[in-house]
Every structure is written in C-alpha cells, then in structure tokens.
Copies of this chain bind each other. A is one copy, B any other.
C-alpha cells in the first residue's frame, strides 16, 4: 500500500486515491458485491479492459480493493472492497446522495430552460 504524501488539506487525500476516471464507479459497484472482472466490465461498459485493469490495479495497490485470483482455466478473478475500502463507504454515500439530488435538479433545469 502506498504511503501517504503530505497533503495540504485532508480532502486532497481522497481525490488522490479515488479521483481516477472510473474509480468511484468501480467502488460503487463493489459495495455489497464481490465481482469478477467481466462482471465489472458489463456494469461499466464505457471503460475498456485496459482502463478497468489499470484502475483496479491502482485501487489494489492503494489497499482499497482485494483481488483474489483462482488458479483455474479459464481464469477467475474476484474483486471486493478491502477493510480499508469499506471505510470509504460514507464518502461514496455522501457523494451518491448529492449526485442523486443533482441529477434530479438538473432534470428540472433542463425542463425549465424554455
């Protein structure tokens, strides 16, 4: 797991760890679910396998997700939140709440735009 850089402010730390393009979405899907690579791919089709692998590796490297490889053929790999990853749930949740409201009001706004 990476050691912390010094941040000028605590919120920076979060952006640093989960600010990647697909990271929050990946984490979102892993709350309450252990998923295989191709299940994640189906849930997040806009991410290419390369991107998905890359983001997952970074999350793993940062100790946020667990990656469990089964030595079988065809391959089987399971991703889940680590203990540390679980600690991010409140953050993800407050983001979700805000996002839901935002999407709601953005919808209204589009309707009210003439």
Is A3 in contact with B44, judged by CB distance below 8 angstroms?
A: no
Copies in the complex: 2
Contact across chains for B25 and A100 when beta carbons are under 8 A apart = no
Interface assignment of A11: CB less than 8 Å from any CB of chain B: yes
Is the beta-carbon distance between B19 and A106 smaller than 8 angstroms? no
Fill in one digit per residue for A76-114: 1 if any B CB lies within 8 Å of its CB, else 0.
000000000001101111111111111100110110010
Q: Which residues of B contact A4 (CB under 8 A)?
A: 102-103, 106-107, 109-110
Q: Interface size class for chain A?
A: 35 or more
The distance in angstroms between the C-alpha atoms of A55 and B99, with both chains bound, is 20
A48 to chain B, nearest CB (A): 15
Which residues of A come within 8 Å of B, CB atoms?
Answer: 1, 3-4, 7-15, 17, 19, 21, 24-25, 27-29, 44, 46, 87-88, 90-103, 106-107, 109-110, 113
12 cross-chain CB contacts under 8 A: A4-B102, A4-B106, A8-B25, A8-B46, A10-B100, A11-B28, A12-B25, A13-B102, A15-B21, A91-B91, A91-B95, A93-B94
